[in-house]
Homo-oligomer: A and B are copies of this chain.
């Protein structure tokens, strides 16, 4: 297969020279050198420039772009250009037009206007990719394939008649015969039974709530449909250029697409990182940790981030000075081996002309934005030799499951305030504050490498998941799960016999009632024993819990289940299983996370002030690289672990105590 990739820290941007006269290209090359760019993503939106009419291809301009890059030693992340079909193609093939759930056909003239199940779209996309692969297979600039762009971003699902046919085919493969589908979807309810595959429809607009099983399978089907589009392209590329790694840019924790199921088909995980100015640093960290975990710690890439202001938020203030540098270094601190921007040169027209770029409308390298984009370019070049090849090793994991996400957020009750990702992120934030390395894993993932696993709101237990968790705990692991877990099977059918279903024994509890609170309702958790002793606010959800072997660490303070368990622990085999029956305050979540890590012997990297983030990458030679990022505006003292360290950014030596400036970063290699 392909050689290890990348061999240095990648630094670059989306580059759209087709928007500019060729006279500008040479200036681009000069400026890229100034900014230390070593890779650019090209050809993302070029289908209309490559195929002018059915099967009438023209590659002259792309040839010149590839030549120029090769000449200047800049690698090409070559996009397959399939993300947006040309206007003539949309008009020629009406089956390409996506249809919304309420029956509206989406027109072209924007982007991503294709139905992922359109035969014509797939045929034409495949043909284009083959041409590209064959033409540039030996090109020296070709470093990576960039398939399509942000799958599913705008067309999260299509409900056209072609999708109805494809959905039936997908269901036949999944259920073999119709009674099984009727059973999975509980169609004895509301007279919904199917007698013929032809009767099955996408979950279009209906008078009342749609069948939850049908909704869930449709989300699975649409994620798989997009994956089929990806694989169709990837298969061509692997056939023609087996040595070239393949990526497609993800949209982070993006609900419509189950990235866990995609990851094994992708060589290099890359994603687009677009925080708001108000996004807390731990949330970016979460995004990196998720992306890195998709391929078990293999380095990922930031495929897009903005060098200045965005254009798609309600208001788009500029990034304040220093932020972009810190954001870039944080990527590497969390295991990324590359950071690219969207985009190189700011567009003069079109729907993104007010999205900032490294080269602004003004056109020179003199401004703040260019300079602050160029700085990490130089820094990453400097640290690359000491960092590339090193890996993050996590002892703590958070379970995340797209199927659970889909199910929990299309529930007929009990609460529209349940946001799965928010629950996952709450516990991530609690752990992140401890400066431990964290993986984000699927519930069926082998958990044996972790000391602590937190699986928030695990409403749906797919087949085998309960056993996986049990195996993990009995072997000595520490598990924490939360309210409304273990409720349903993978078809969103309730596990009968008492909540939390298959987890009842492992957790040693029986939940008689769950009580989703309205906006004004709340309660408190009272804990008698150290280290958690105290009274803590909780909200969102309460439960009537009975102990069946577990011990109550905390109880509810009020309401008809006052004195009932709110926080329990159950010993099982060599391990412990915790259950939190409500949404606890950040304070209690943090304390709990710390207690679990300490009990389980998880290494906390450093004790630092709030707002200072510490990560560690381990090299194959055993030496460690510490990343210390001060997200505060003011300086902070740092106590280093024992030993002596070299600062990779400036070559200075450090040990014991130091002070890190506000909005600054230190990258320290163990001596």
A91 and B206 form a contact (CB under 8 A): no
Q: Does A281 contact B (CB under 8 A)?
A: no
Separation of A541 and B139 alpha carbons in the complex (Å)? 47
Separation of A49 and B560 alpha carbons in the complex (Å)? 42
Separation of A310 and B192 alpha carbons in the complex (Å)? 22
A517 and B317 form a contact (CB under 8 A): yes
A207 and B413 form a contact (CB under 8 A): no
Task: Choose from B53, B210, B318 the contact partner of A195 (Cβ within 8 Å).
Answer: B53
A355 and B413 form a contact (CB under 8 A): yes
Q: Does A649 contact B (CB under 8 A)?
A: no
Q: Does A191 contact B (CB under 8 A)?
A: yes
Q: Does A534 contact B (CB under 8 A)?
A: no
The stretch among A97-105, A472-480, A581-589, A623-631 that forms the contact with chain B is: A97-105
Residues in B with CB closer than 8 Å to A619 are none
Q: Which of A332-377 contact B (CB under 8 A)?
A: 346-355, 360-363, 367-369
Given contacts A210-B351, A491-B349, A492-B349, contact A315 B414 (CB under 8 A): yes
Separation of A206 and B106 alpha carbons in the complex (Å)? 5
Given contacts A84-B190, A86-B191, contact A208 B516 (CB under 8 A): no
Residues in B with CB closer than 8 Å to A499 are 361-362
Q: Which of A152-191 contact B (CB under 8 A)?
A: 153-155, 185-191
A186 and B350 form a contact (CB under 8 A): yes
Task: Choose from B203, B205, B413 the contact partner of A313 (Cβ within 8 Å).
Answer: B413
Most chain B CB within 10 A, of A18, A189, A198, is at A189
Given contacts A88-B196, A349-B493, contact A314 B368 (CB under 8 A): no
B362 and A111 form a contact (CB under 8 A): no
Most chain B CB within 10 A, of A277, A491, A518, is at A518
Decide if the interface of chain A is mainly helix, strand, loop or mixed.
loop
Task: Choose from B205, B310, B349, B513 the contact partner of A213 (Cβ within 8 Å).
Answer: B349
Separation of A207 and B49 alpha carbons in the complex (Å)? 21
Q: A195: nearest residue on chain B (CB-CB)? A: B88
Residues in B with CB closer than 8 Å to A354 are 411-414
How many chain copies? 3
B49 and A188 form a contact (CB under 8 A): yes
Task: Choose from B53, B207, B347, B361 the contact partner of A155 (Cβ within 8 Å).
Answer: B207
Q: Does A46 contact B (CB under 8 A)?
A: yes
Q: Does A471 contact B (CB under 8 A)?
A: no
Separation of A349 and B550 alpha carbons in the complex (Å)? 29
Residues in B with CB closer than 8 Å to A435 are none
Residues in B with CB closer than 8 Å to A91 are 198-199
Q: A366: nearest residue on chain B (CB-CB)? A: B512
A412 and B351 form a contact (CB under 8 A): yes
Q: A113: nearest residue on chain B (CB-CB)? A: B207
Separation of A658 and B247 alpha carbons in the complex (Å)? 79
Q: A52: nearest residue on chain B (CB-CB)? A: B195
Residues in B with CB closer than 8 Å to A498 are 361-363
Separation of A352 and B98 alpha carbons in the complex (Å)? 31
Q: Does A417 contact B (CB under 8 A)?
A: yes
A19 and B414 form a contact (CB under 8 A): no
Q: Which of A300-332 contact B (CB under 8 A)?
A: 308-318, 320-321
- A422 → chain B closest CB, angstroms: 15
Separation of A193 and B413 alpha carbons in the complex (Å)? 47
Separation of A188 and B46 alpha carbons in the complex (Å)? 8
A521 and B208 form a contact (CB under 8 A): no
Separation of A225 and B560 alpha carbons in the complex (Å)? 47
Given contacts A208-B111, A311-B414, A413-B312, contact A186 B106 (CB under 8 A): no
- A497 → chain B closest CB, angstroms: 6
Given contacts A45-B190, A201-B109, A496-B363, contact A318 B515 (CB under 8 A): yes
Separation of A178 and B341 alpha carbons in the complex (Å)? 33
Task: Choose from B86, B211, B361 the contact partner of A494 (Cβ within 8 Å).
Answer: B361
Residues in B with CB closer than 8 Å to A196 are 88
Task: Choose from B110, B363, B544 the contact partner of A206 (Cβ within 8 Å).
Answer: B110
Task: Choose from B48, B185, B518 the contact partner of A192 (Cβ within 8 Å).
Answer: B48
- A348 → chain B closest CB, angstroms: 5
A107 and B201 form a contact (CB under 8 A): yes
Q: Does A241 contact B (CB under 8 A)?
A: no
Given contacts A49-B191, A191-B81, A497-B363, contact A516 B210 (CB under 8 A): no
Residues in B with CB closer than 8 Å to A18 are 188
Q: Does A508 contact B (CB under 8 A)?
A: no
A316 and B109 form a contact (CB under 8 A): no
- A126 → chain B closest CB, angstroms: 17
Most chain B CB within 10 A, of A52, A106, A360, A414, is at A414
- A104 → chain B closest CB, angstroms: 5
B414 and A107 form a contact (CB under 8 A): no
- A185 → chain B closest CB, angstroms: 7
Separation of A488 and B203 alpha carbons in the complex (Å)? 44
Separation of A472 and B391 alpha carbons in the complex (Å)? 66
Residues in B with CB closer than 8 Å to A212 are 349-351, 353
A350 and B195 form a contact (CB under 8 A): no
- A319 → chain B closest CB, angstroms: 10
Q: Does A47 contact B (CB under 8 A)?
A: yes
Separation of A645 and B108 alpha carbons in the complex (Å)? 67
Separation of A46 and B153 alpha carbons in the complex (Å)? 41
Given contacts A191-B46, A321-B560, contact A109 B351 (CB under 8 A): no
Q: Does A87 contact B (CB under 8 A)?
A: yes
Would you give the 0/1 interface string for A410-434, flagging 1 where the beta carbon is closer than 8 Å to chain B?
A: 0111111100000000000000000
B496 and A320 form a contact (CB under 8 A): no
Cross-chain pairs A/B with CB under 8 angstroms, 12 sampled = A16-B188, A103-B104, A111-B190, A189-B349, A208-B351, A211-B351, A314-B518, A317-B515, A320-B560, A353-B412, A354-B414, A361-B499
The 10 closest A-B pairs by CB, nearest first: A186-B349, A311-B413, A189-B350, A110-B206, A154-B207, A107-B204, A84-B191, A354-B413, A362-B498, A48-B193
